[in-house]
A and B are shown apart, each in its own frame.
Chain A
Amino acid sequence: MATDITAGATVRAGGEPADPAATTNGSWWAHPNIAYGVVGAAAGYALGHWFGNWLANGFQQIQGMGQNDYAVVLGYLGGTIGWLAGIGAVTYPLLKLLGYQATAQHETKRSLRSYFGYTLDHKVVGVQYLAAMLVYFFVGGMFALAIRTELLSPTNHLLPPGKYLEVVGEHGTMMMMMMTSAVIGPFGNFFVPLMIGSRKMAYPRLEALSFWITPAAFVVLLSGVLLGGFPTGWTGYAPLSIEATQGQDSYLVAFGLITISMIIGGFNIIATIINYRAPGMTWTRLPLFVWAMLVTAMLMVLAAPVLAMAGYFSILDRTVQTALFDVNHGGSPYLWQNLFWFFGHPEVYILALPGFGIALELLPVFARKPAFAYRTVVAGMVGVGLLSWFVWQHHLFVSGINPDMRPVVMLTTELISIPTGIVFLGAVGTLWRAKLRLTVPMLFVLGGLFNFLIGGVSGVFLSDVPTDTIAHGSFFVMAHFHYTIMGGYMFFFFGAVYYWVPKMLGRRLNTRLGKVHFWTLFVFFNSTFLPLFAVGELGQPRRVFEYAASLQTLNIWVSISAYLIGLSMLVFIFNFLKSTVIDDPTPIETNPWGSRGLEWMTSTPVSANNFDHIPEVVSGPYDYGTGAGPMATIGAPGAAVPVSAAGQPGEVV
């Protein structure tokens, strides 16, 4: 068990138990786990479903439709609450509420089981996130292969059109929604405390909660397939979403759950970075990855509520018949678009910024040079975050909304290229006269920069209204965001995996297989998505199952390349599973890449408290070539620092 709630027995890490009062040591409800979670989910779903039926079954409209959206929505919500209760998200507050002196004990011995529990150790949460995100990514990827299979022919339809749209929606939503925390979840949670010299995160329980919501959202989203799927794609436009059958509810509820996860996770990261920095870890010594996490978390906290509200409005329109999106009764079809894209544009920067953070973090290590133009780059990341709020109307250029605002939004969208370009400034400067090592992580970073350049420049075509006329709603947009999000963000993600897994899991991924993975992915990714720019400009809209016969050759080429991407990912899966699960652990250096980073100064595996004593930071993480010593002194008894104004609790909570 990761955490034993022993009521009345306060236990210190590695210390002796105090006088026990009434204990609940043997009670089943003090030891939550996944099995209880599944049972709770089933029970909660049944209860919610029954309640929804009781509320609404008699309505004539429900009888006509033959489906009860109340039951589905309330069932999902009940299932999620049951799941969270079962795995222990509410055990500690409930026990406190009932008067037990529940305390949580840090595990002194980390076992495989602790990875399946509700844990307060941010490192375990990071590993849980990594496993989950990889699962979500590959499931989403399989849906993508189904899409490309259908698009092999414009006239022979392998998938019926309704199922095709189900697949399109599941693929897009799985990627855009479940993968929002693909970097901040595993690497943000694991490494932010290590990188700032902290022994814990600010809100460990919330952090675990933000993770455990994601499997619930995953199951809710996938179960939409059983309900007939949703026909709106990941953008969920009303009024189509209002007219859709029950599968739409799974989309809406899953998105709502993920927004909660985003908000909670974001708050945790912000509070940790602001309050838990070790002495000497000034803002100008903060690693660029941590800066990226900070800005991303700010965006998450501010943007996610808007989407939650939009989803809530849709659920209301679908169940209790409000008319927020119904133009016949005073609503507006534009409302959803505005709300969604007000969230949606910061969302893509929530995806891009962690990628930038990884790139800027890894480049100095594999170039053996300081990060070039550190302060400018930080300003650039903050600038991207700020400007991302002012550009959302560029998704609506042809919709007829506020045509007079289009020049203003063109300006803001063009302006956002400047801070995005600053990331490239940092990269270019860091590479200047460097000592480049083309390790697997570095290959992914460079490949990601190459891809993101293409994606970013194609964005300029979309930000200009005249050229957007052709490109909007076509495969050009598809190619643009796949280049930025998959070619950029996911390449950086894989770079981070190869880079940090030796510290996270104490295993090194096979280098040769890693290079095979990189080169095949790089080549086939470009061969898949580069032609899609042309396909879009030549007149193929998005999300279609029929297209002009003249475009079939290009589509066949793209589909074959997509299968080859799948093969490339199989290489990664094989490498990952073999290195981390199947092979016996072998001793590994604590700093295989020779990085100056504070996270590499910990042991491998990282000890439960991260650092034996709070480090005192004396130099920055990128001081290569300056003759500076290590960033901080770790482990020497004389270097211990008592609790300082930075608010660093030394002992366990």
Chain B
Amino acid sequence: MSDEHAPATPPAAAETASEPTDRQHLLRIGIIWIVLSLIAMPLVYFVWGPHFPPGNGSDQAASQQHDNAVLATIAVPVFLFIWVYLGYALVNWRIRSDTPVSELPDGPPVRGHIGFQTTWLIVTSLTVLSLFVYGTAELVKTSGAGTGSGGAPIWTPAGYSSNLTKSKLLQVQVIGQQWRWTFRYPQYGGVETSQLLLPVGQAVQFNVTSLDVIHSFWAIDLGVKADANPGNNNIAFVTPNRLQLINIRCAELCGIYHGSMATNGQVVSHADFDRWIVTQVVLHARLIPQLPPYEDYYLPQTDGGYYDPGTNPLPPVDTGLAPPSPTPSSGQ
């Protein structure tokens, strides 16, 4: 990396006294860049930031909104540097594009510049590494809680326990199937509902699974996205912090009606939620015994129906081949 200036040769177009020096070019570009950045960065962070998706409908969403604002603010000077530089180059360093080849002047033979290259590498590396540190810190704290973290998440909110009976979080199992969402509340007798209701201010643990292909549970306003995988449990956490409508869409292509696999949930007050869930249990009193016992996942059977791995052996697979007939010869 030891490129240096090539030996100076008299350039075709001699530098006249009116032509700006390197330093002047640099200063101009730098000043334009810094001024624009100083204007744009606060605008992005303070004016636009509070309106970024996914909004602040939950602690997780608010934290992700803030992360979006931070990243966007850091992106501003990156964009501006290249745009200002390109604009400056196009204004100041152009010659006619139809100049005949024999008359083409050459630019200064600058093969590299240690200072510039080193500064660039250091600045990009520092930026990138601090983004990594920031991203990890946010992942470990609130923001990342809304992402699907598998069946045994490491960074969990207070009150989490892998033992459902000890958990202080409201457990909601999200079941994705081609092509609708249903929800089970194990702490309320394992009742299954077609609508998602959550009490405001309550820490919730989503246990997302699928009965067939891969779906993805995206509760847009809550900042939750967790893939629904068959035979797997995918846990995400959220604490909704105001009454609102929850838009839920499927975010992983799951077949022809992937686009219509959407529903609305609601965040309601604690009293409304308690009333609702009790009503659901009563309404579905005859259904609940017909549902399989609550499990982290339900292996899809190839011929339909639920399969509880804990109780039944796997059904035999029908291959369509006739069983081998017994052969008369021995020597098997």
Contact = CB atoms under 8 A, between A and B. Distances in A.
Q: Tell me if chain B binds chain A.
A: yes
B111 A468 contact: no
Chain A, interface residues (CB within 8 Å), range: 35 or more
B71 A544 contact: no
B212 to A, nearest CB: 7
Interface in A419-436: 421-422, 424-425, 428-429, 431-436
Given A473-B225, A625-B9, A434 B89 contact: yes
Interface stretch (A121-129, A408-416, A490-498, A644-652): A408-416
B105 A435 contact: yes
Given A369-B110, A433-B25, A470 B319 contact: no
A625 B2 CA distance: 19
Interface string A369-393: 1111111100100000000000000
A538 B101 CA distance: 51
A331 to B, nearest CB: 9
B265 interface: no
Contacts of A472: 216, 225, 251
Interface in B99-123: 99, 101, 104-113, 116-117, 120-121
A605 interface: no
Given A402-B150, A541-B218, A436 B94 contact: yes
B14 interface: no
B11 A545 contact: no
Nearest to A242: B213
A460 B71 contact: yes
Contacts of A237: 213-214, 252-253
Given A403-B153, A453-B79, A627 B9 contact: yes
A322 to B, nearest CB: 12
Interface string B252-284: 111111111010000000000000000000000
B262 to A, nearest CB: 7
A422 to B, nearest CB: 8
A256 to B, nearest CB: 21
B229 A399 contact: yes
Contacts of B108: 369, 433, 625
Interface string A267-296: 000000000000000000000000000000
Interface stretch (B34-42, B125-133, B169-177, B182-190): B125-133
B321 interface: yes
Contact of A436 (B12, B82, B93): B93
Contact of B110 (A399, A432, A539): A432
Interface string B1-37: 1010011010110000000001001000000000000
Contacts of B121: 376, 418, 422, 425
Nearest to B120: A425
A624 B107 contact: yes
Nearest to B249: A541
B86 interface: yes
Contacts of A473: 216, 218, 225, 251-252
A537 B68 CA distance: 10
Given A428-B85, A435-B105, A400 B231 contact: no
A421 B53 contact: no
B97 interface: yes
B231 A328 contact: yes
B259 A59 contact: no
A407 interface: yes
A398 interface: yes
B150 A470 contact: no
Contact of A417 (B11, B64, B124): B124
Nearest to B221: A539
B132 A414 contact: yes
Interface string A43-86: 00000000000000011111100000000000000000000000
A543 B112 contact: no
Contact of A460 (B22, B75, B218, B252): B75
Contacts of A436: 89-90, 93-95
Interface stretch (A298-306, A345-353, A586-594): A586-594
11 contacts: A61-B319, A334-B229, A418-B124, A429-B113, A435-B94, A435-B95, A438-B97, A466-B63, A469-B60, A539-B247, A626-B109
Interface of A: 58-63, 161-162, 164-165, 231-233, 235, 237, 239-240, 243, 321, 327-329, 332-334, 367-376, 379, 397-404, 406-407, 410-411, 414-415, 417-418, 421-422, 424-425, 428-429, 431-439, 442, 446, 449-450, 453-454, 457, 460-461, 463-470, 472-474, 537-539, 541-548, 589, 591-594, 623-627
Nearest 7 CB-CB pairs, A to B?
A327-B231, A60-B320, A544-B259, A466-B143, A473-B251, A625-B106, A400-B234
